[in-house]
């Protein structure tokens, strides 16, 4: 199905099932512990051996010797695979570093060997017996030290231009009556998903099956095939359930490739799970940033110049954290400058983490906007409203398809009680606590991707949907079932959804908050094709066909879907189609918007910060399932609290070391239940016919964008101490707290 004109009225608009709060159809499997996750596929794999990956103990250099004798002699050991006996390996298109290192080492904890044994304990113990000698290089690990020499990034479709200019920023900023020039920093972040990277590999001749935890099945197939040097048709990836990814499982990682190499070596299936302490350094992370933001306004708060420059780092061949992207689109301003520079660092690979670019960019921008509002003497909500735009500021002829940012901010302020906020910092107390209120705008682009599905109608009237779309805990099973049920006019319990298998048609996959809108659009396209086939069996013109209550009719004639399938033959009816987009996203800027409001309490003596309440208001097209969408947003809000107050991968910057020291959940703190207060989420009633036939967009990452800045702004309102370096730990402002009476 080609989607190249705005959607008109279609079967989804009936909203009998789509748009209704719906419990997850896979909820029973998860609550009973019977959902088949990758490492637990005992039903599919018998007699699996266990593999343990050995990671490099240096960040940069080379292996000069490896003594395997003790490890090979250990009980239960079946094989040891290294770069010396793995055969010729390639590198996947989505990987920056090789997934098996040696003799050259590209980053700390790069996999250098896998030890395979009969039991996990035997493999783990034997792995500790490997004696590896390294020759270290000094390496480059400090973004601040490399900042001044960092070149502009190269332009790609994903990153956009390294420099974007509109008007004369320098002149306009110099002439502005109100000026802000400030620098903000965000640290490296780890995904810290609940389920570790895990895989089981099994070979049948020259065909490989991988049960793995992976968000993008088709990407994974391509990269596994390229890495191992085998045809894509010989690789099958299966990933029906994923215990969290947040972008860390967009790409195949060492667990999958090393499991495949281990299984090939021992001639039987091998299962591998990365130990928690290995994940931050072996896999990907969100890169740290340094961001300089300059804003010039008139005396009444109208932005006349806005500039945002960002620096981040990655391994050679990697890409930047695109922290300036939202600044190109979020606020008006005639004179504009954005730029991105990328330092070459020898830290582990930087890559996508939930809302890549916007999450870290808004951590800085939305503090800067508050600072500019204060300098102009204008309320932060009013300042943002005053600088709203309904067109792309860089391309004024390109309007937004939908843009309800002002409505989000106004409604959020009303529901939150923003009018009770004291604009003078450090004035409101509740006993020992200083109370502050903060807010920030939320922004995330709407991305469009091709997505296909296969739908089958059997002789009992049951509809089965097959697509390689994944469910990373977001509710994909349910919204896909809702889409099929709505389109075909059947109840939810007559739809079976099968996901996460490369034998199924290629979907958009899960990432970039593009999964829900695109995957359901692909299912809708396949169902519309199936409707035509059903109508033909019933002798009804497709244009006149109405689907409801398990029947197709035209007002005069009717037939049950079951009978239509029976009339087609023993296999019923099968339709396969997908969504393919035209150029509407070039004509219209498609984005999602929101407003975050936060109340914090700061201990007047100790500086301890407690978040008391949070509100998010989101405008993100049609909300397909408000229940699971709300879960997505409150989960994102929780991540935002972590980014604001505690999350930081600390780098050992000594020559030759270059690794994240706090590489487990004991040292890398994330929010727990006691950290998270009352959270509320409001979705604006919105449809976007420019986006897709579903008239939906994405919301899972929008809920994170701006949260950290809202917390930071609230801390400032509580204390009068402005912190521009995340996370906002008490050591950064304790000496600036108001005097205790």
Kind plus residue range of the DSSP H or E element containing 484: helix 476-488
The two tokens of residue 464 are: 């089965």
Catalytic residue flag (residue 366): no
The token pair that represents 83 in the structure block: 């770069």
pLDDT tens by residue, 174-194: 999 999 999 999 999 999 999
Burial class (CB in 10 A: 0-12, 13-18, 19+), 10: middle
Closest CA to 444 of 359, 383, 360, 364: 359
Which of 212, 269, 257 is closest to 239 using CA atoms? 212
Given a cut of 80, whether residue 3 has pLDDT beyond it is yes
| pLDDT over 80 (residue 71) | yes
Calculate the alpha carbon distances from 41 to 35, 100, 116, 241 in Å: 10, 25, 18, 11
Which residue reads 């909203």 in tokens? Answer: 15
**Residue 495 has which token pair?**
């739809």
For 182-253, where are the alpha helices, taking DSSP H only? 217-228
Beta bridge partners of 464: 456, 496
Q: Helix and strand tally (H, E) in the chain?
A: 17, 32
Q: Is the pLDDT of residue 591 over 80?
A: yes
Task: State the number of CA atoms in the 13 A half-sphere of 30 facing the CB.
Answer: 15
Geometric angle at alpha carbon 445, from 443 and 451, rounded to 5°: 145
Q: What percent of the chain is predicted at pLDDT more than 90?
A: 99
Average pLDDT of the residues in 419-443: 98
SS (H, E, C) 429-482: EECCEEEEEEEEEEEEECCCCCEEEEEEECCCCCEEEECCCCCCCCCHHHHHHH
What's the pLDDT at 741? 61
Residue 636 to residue 705: CA distance in whole angstroms: 8
Question: Which DSSP state fits 554?
Answer: -
Structure tokens at 615: 């509100």
Domains in the chain: ranges and CATH: 38-137+197-274 (3.30.365.10), 149-188+286-446+587-736 (3.30.365.10), 449-580 (3.30.365.10)
* Chain segment 681-723, per-residue pLDDT in tens: 999 999 999 999 999 999 999 999 999 999 999 999 999 999 9
Q: Which residues make Cβ contacts (< 8 Å) with residue 643, sequence separation at least 6? A: 186, 189, 359, 363, 704, 707, 708, 726, 727
Residue 587 has pLDDT above 70, yes or no: yes
List Cα–Cα distances, 321 to 94, 184, 289, in angstroms. 15, 14, 7
- Alpha-carbon separation of residue 495 from 90, 174, 306, 401, 465 (angstroms): 41, 62, 51, 33, 7
Per-residue pLDDT reduced to its tens digit, 618-664: 999 999 999 999 999 999 999 999 999 999 999 999 998 999 999 99
Q: What is the mean pLDDT of the chain?
A: 97
Instruction: Quote the tokens at residue 321.
Output: 């954290």
Q: What's the pTM?
A: 0.98
Helices 515-538 and 476-488 sit at what angle, rounded to 10 degrees?
A: 30
Res. 445: pLDDT tops 80 = yes
3 state SS of 520: helix
Q: What is the DSSP letter of 149?
A: G
pLDDT over threshold 90, residue 156: no
- pLDDT above 70: percentage of residues in the chain: 100
CA angle 134, 138, 140 (to 5 degrees): 125
């Amino acid at each position: 199905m080609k989607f190249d004109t705005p959607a008109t009225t279609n079967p989804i608009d009936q909203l009998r099932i789509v748009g209704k709060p719906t419990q997850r159809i896979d909820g029973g499997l998860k609550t009973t512990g019977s959902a088949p996750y990758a490492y637990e596929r005992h039903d599919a794999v018998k007699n699996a051996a266990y593999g343990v990956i050995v990671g490099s103990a240096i960040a940069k250099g080379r292996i000069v010797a490896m003594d395997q004798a003790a490890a090979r002699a250990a009980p239960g050991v079946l094989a040891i695979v290294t770069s010396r006996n793995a055969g010729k390996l390639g590198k996947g298109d989505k990987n920056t570093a090789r997934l098996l290192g040696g003799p050259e080492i590209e980053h700390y904890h790069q996999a250098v060997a896998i030890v395979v044994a009969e039991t996990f304990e035997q493999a783990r113990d034997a792995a500790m017996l490997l004696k590896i000698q390294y020759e270290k290089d000094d390496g480059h690990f400090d973004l601040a030290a490399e900042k001044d020499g960092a070149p502009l990034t190269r332009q790609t479709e994903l990153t956009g231009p390294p420099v974007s200019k509109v008007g004369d920023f320098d002149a306009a900023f110099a002439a502005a009556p109100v000026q802000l020039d400030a620098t903000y920093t965000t640290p490296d972040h780890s995904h810290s998903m609940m389920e570790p990277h895990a895989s089981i590999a099994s070979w049948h001749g020259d065909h490989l099956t991988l049960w793995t935890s992976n968000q993008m099945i088709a990407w994974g197939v391509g990269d596994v095939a390229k890495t191992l040097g085998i045809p894509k048709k010989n690789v099958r990836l299966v990933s029906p359930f994923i215990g969290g990814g947040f972008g860390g499982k967009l790409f195949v990682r060492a667990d999958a490739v090393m499991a495949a190499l281990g299984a090939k070596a021992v001639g039987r299936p091998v299962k591998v799970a990365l130990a928690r302490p290995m994940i931050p350094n072996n896999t990907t992370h969100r890169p740290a940033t340094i961001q300089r933001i300059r804003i010039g306004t008139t005396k009444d708060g109208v932005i006349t110049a806005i500039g945002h420059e960002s620096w981040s780092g990655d391994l050679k061949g990697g890409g930047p954290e695109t922290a300036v992207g939202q600044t190109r689109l979020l606020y008006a301003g005639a004179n504009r400058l954005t730029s991105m520079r990328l330092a070459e660092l020898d830290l582990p690979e930087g890559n996508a983490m939930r809302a890549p670019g916007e999450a870290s960019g808004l951590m800085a921008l939305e503090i800067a906007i508050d600072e500019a509002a204060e300098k102009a003497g204008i309320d932060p909500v009013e300042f943002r409203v005053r600088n709203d735009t309904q067109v792309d500021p860089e391309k004024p002829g390109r309007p937004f398809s939908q843009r309800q940012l002002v409505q989000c901010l106004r409604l959020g302020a009303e529901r939150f009680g923003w009018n009770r906020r004291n604009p003078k910092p450090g004035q409101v107390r509740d006993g020992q606590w200083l109370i502050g209120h903060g807010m920030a705008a939320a922004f995330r682009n709407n991305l469009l991707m091709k997505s296909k599905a296969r739908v089958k109608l059997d002789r009992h009237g049951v509809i089965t949907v097959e697509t390689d779309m994944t469910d990373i805990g977001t509710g994909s099973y349910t919204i896909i079932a809702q889409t099929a049920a709505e389109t075909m006019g059947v109840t939810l319990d007559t739809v079976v959804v099968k996901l996460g298998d490369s034998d199924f048609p290629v979907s958009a996959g899960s990432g970039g908050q593009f999964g829900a809108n695109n995957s359901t659009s692909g299912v809708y396209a396949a169902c519309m094709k199936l409707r035509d086939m059903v109508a033909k069996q019933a002798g009804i013109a497709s244009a006149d066909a109405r689907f409801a209550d398990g029947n197709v009719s035209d007002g005069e004639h009717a037939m049950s879907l079951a009978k239509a399938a029976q009339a087609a033959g023993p296999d019923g009816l099968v339709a396969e189609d997908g969504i393919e987009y035209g150029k509407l996203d070039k004509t219209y800027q498609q984005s999602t918007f929101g407003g975050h409001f936060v109340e914090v309490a700061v201990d007047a003596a100790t500086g301890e910060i407690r978040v008391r309440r949070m509100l998010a208001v989101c405008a993100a097209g049609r909300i397909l399932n408000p229940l699971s969408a709300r879960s997505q947003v409150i989960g994102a809000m929780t991540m935002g609290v972590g980014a604001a107050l505690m999350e930081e991968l600390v780098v050992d910057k000594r020559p030759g070391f270059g690794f994240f020291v706090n590489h487990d959940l004991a040292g890398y703190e994330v929010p727990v239940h006691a950290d998270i207060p009352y959270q509320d989420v409001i979705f604006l009633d919105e449809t976007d016919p420019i986006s897709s036939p579903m008239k939906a967009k994405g919301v899972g990452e929008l809920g994170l964008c701006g949260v950290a800045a809202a917390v930071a702004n609230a801390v400032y309102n509580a204390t009068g101490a402005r912190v521009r370096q995340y996370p906002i730990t008490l050591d950064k402002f304790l000496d600036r707290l108001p005097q205790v009476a």
